[in-house]
Structure 1
Amino acid sequence: MILSPIDTVAHISKEDFIENYFKPQKPILIKGLARQWKDFDKWNLDYIYQKVGNQEVGLYDNKPADPNKATNEPVTKMRFKDYINLIRSTPSDLRIFFYIITDHLPELLKNFSYPDLGFKYFKRIPTLFFGGSEARVLMHYDIDLGDLLHFQFEGKKRVVLFAPDQAPFLYKVPLSVHTVYNIDYENPDYEKFPALKYAKGYEIFMEHGDALFMPSGYWHFNRYLEAGFSISLRSFPTHPSRLINMLNEVFVIRYTDKIMRKLFKKKWVDHKQRNAFKKSQKALQHYLSTHSSNA
């Protein structure tokens, strides 16, 4: 992988953000943006512990989804306070996925304000994500194709981003929003996945209060370096072509995959994995032949 530093600023005007990042769909890290919030001091695990500690939450780990089960089925459940105590006291790969604030902790909505950066937010689903110090999230892009403003709190996190046009080198699984399961983005094996060596992206290290702008369709891999959590604020696709793509992803591709997975289980998963490898190998051969002829 060819990973470059991302543009990083402490402050940015709405005009600068729109012209140089939102319109060209380029990511940027805004250091400490959340510190502008009036109640920034409430964005910590202690506050969550006090407010919703007795809620039961579903937890996920680093293992690939069981092909015999629904892809969104948690590996276990526990009380929120027990989960927080666990990730604070011991290394853990357990994480909470897509915790919708408006449904489970609406009081937290009073403790932040949507940054005025010039794009409209989809305010129904601001979502929280939590992870222990060994948790990681498979390389994927968000199915709704919204632009994301992603904030990190408490522990540090490493993020790897790739633009949508890098998908041919990432071993994208057909009819899915993720890459093959067995790529290690911390120690990539270029002998096993040679196309990955030519993928061009960004490497970002996030700290408490930082905000990362991830444009629509960007691939992202998240690795919690310490126990922590994040919130994603997203926009709803407004451009006609992006809206059509989003509807296709959500209602056609997603449900086609669910039906095939239910019918054929592991055979279907293995078939998609093989196809992902073949397509990236083909993209690699095309890339090498093109660049060798231009040399």
Structure 2
Amino acid sequence: MSAQVLSKPIPYAALTTVDKRSNLSRKELIEEYIKPGLPVVLTDAAAKWSALGKFTPELFKEKYGHLTKEIKGQTYTMAEVVDIIRNPTPGVPVPYPFCLNVDQAFPELMAEFKPQINLGKPDRVQHPLLSKMMLLNTVVNEIFLGGAGSCFPYLHVDALFLHTQITQLYGSKDFILYSPDQTPYMYPKQDNAKVSEVDIFNPDYEKYPLFRHAKPVRVTVEEGESILFPTKWWHTTQIHEPCISIARSYLNEWNWADFVQDNFELRKKRYPALALAMLAYGKALGSFINLQEKITAPV
């Protein structure tokens, strides 16, 4: 949000829950959530997706059971994970995250996720002038399968300060969020400031005493619902039933400056000349796209 000048402080302190909204207009989404930098659950944004009611664990086992993913040093097939999800062993967590790049593993499924959910501005991830180098191998569209007892392995902020959009295709998922102003309580890792050292499900308050002051906001996203949260929100997830979701990374005017700066920061030590060149290119491209959007898609 560094590219956006706010007229009043962001009301993080007053936030105790995440709104669930339906029939939200593009203008309402921008003014009430995107500009203020607040998360929201849209209950009907994916209502027309053909994927809803169709994408089940059984379908993925039948069509994509051979696909594999390594989790904590062990390789699992999609078929194996679906069997574990369907018949969990008490006390044994389901391997997670079992996630696959949609564009690589099953690109034909992208047609099932239309119309795409728009966060209020054109998605710059797909802009033809955006160098793929600037995405640093970030997965833009990713499907996650999980089951009872699964939780994301760490509290984090998403890569490159991209916005996040996650839709529940099957089952529900709990999201635990911490607003950006609580970063001083998060104990970011020395080698990756976007990942917290704290295990929020079993916090060590002696080692991380400031985490006592952290105030989470928890929301359950049900099947068919989509959660949108802006960059810099710390988050993790917890699952209590068979669950399939699709996550999409999103880039627009409001996180462009952070995205460009992070590209620079991640390269400046090893490739200083390249980092400076990409910083200059990113700033120039941002100005160009701002003008282009103002002409072609004014808000």
TM-score above 0.5 = yes
Counterpart CA distance in 2 for 1:197 and 1:215 is 24
1:14 aligns with 2:29: no
RMSD: 2.6
Following superposition of structure 1 onto structure 2, how do residues 208-287 of structure 1 map, counting pairs within 5 Å? 208-236=223-251, 238=253, 241-248=257-264, 250-252=266-268
Offset, 1:229: 2.2
- TM-score, length of structure 1 as denominator length: 0.72
Q: 1:252 to 1:31 in 2, by over 3 A?
A: farther
Q: 2:197 matched to which residue of 1?
A: 180
* Structure 2 counterpart of 1:94: 95
Q: CA deviation at 1:106?
A: 1.1
1:58 Cα offset (Å): 2.1
2:117 aligns with one of 93, 115, 118: 115
Change (3 A) 1:251 1:141: same
Between stretches 92-101 and 5-14, larger displacement belongs to 92-101
Q: Which amino acid aligns with 1:81?
A: A
Per the alignment, residue 291 of structure 1 pairs with: none
Structure 2 gap segments, 5+ residues each: 1-12, 127-138, 272-299
Shift of 1:110: 1.3
Listed one character per residue, the Cα deviations across residues 187-234 of structure 1 (whole Å, up to 9, x for unaligned) are: 545455331222234111111111111101211011112221211122
Matching residue within 21, 30, 36 for 1:24? 36
| Identical residues among aligned pairs (%) | 24
Q: Does structure 1 retain, via aligned residues, the 8 Å contact 2:71–2:96?
A: yes
Read off the aligned partner of 1:180 and give its amino acid letter. E
* Distance (Å, rounded) in 2 between the aligned partners of 1:84 and 1:156: 16
Confirm whether residue 129 of structure 1 aligns to residue 141 of structure 2: no
TM-score by length of 2: 0.71
CA distance in 1, matches of 2:270, 2:98: 18
Rounded to whole Å, the distance in 2 between the matches of 1:33 and 1:218 is 21
1:83 corresponds to 2:81? yes
Counting matched residue pairs gives: 238
Question: Does the residue aligned with 1:180 lie in a helix, a strand or coil?
Answer: coil
Q: Cα distance 1:49–1:89, how it changes in 2: closer, same or farther (>3 A)?
A: same
How far residue 252 of structure 1 moved from its aligned partner, in angstroms, is: 4.9
Is residue 2:40 matched to residue 1:42? no
Cα separation, partners in 2 of 1:180 and 1:102, compared to 1, 3 Å: same
Shift, 1:22, TM fit: 0.8
The verdict on how the C-alpha distance between 1:81 and 1:252 changes in structure 2, with shifts beyond 3 A counting, is farther
CA 1:78–1:189: 2 relative to 1, 3 Å:
closer
Change (3 A) 1:254 1:203: farther
Is 2:143 the partner of 1:141?
A: no
Instruction: Give the drift of 1:125.
Output: 2.4
User: Structure 1 residues 46 and 175, CA, compared in 2 at 3 Å: closer, same or farther?
Assistant: same
Q: Note closer, same or farther for the CA distance 1:12–1:240 as it changes in structure 2 (3 Å cut).
A: closer
**Cα deviation digits, residues 225-270 of structure 1 (max 9, x gap):** 2221211122125455313332045435899xxxxxxxxxxxxxxx
Q: Distance in 2 between matches of 1:222 and 1:160?
A: 6
1:4 to 10, 16, 31: 16
Corresponding residue for residue 267 of structure 1? none
What is the 5 A alignment of 1:190-209?
Answer: 190=205, 193-209=208-224
Unmatched runs of 5 consecutive residues or more in structure 1: 61-74, 256-295
| SS state at 2:80 partner | helix
Higher helix share: 1
Instruction: Give the Cα separation in 1 of the matches to 2:83 and 2:270.
Output: 35
For 1:253 and 1:94, the matched residues in 2 are separated by 35
C-alpha distance in 2 between matches for 1:174 and 1:161: 21
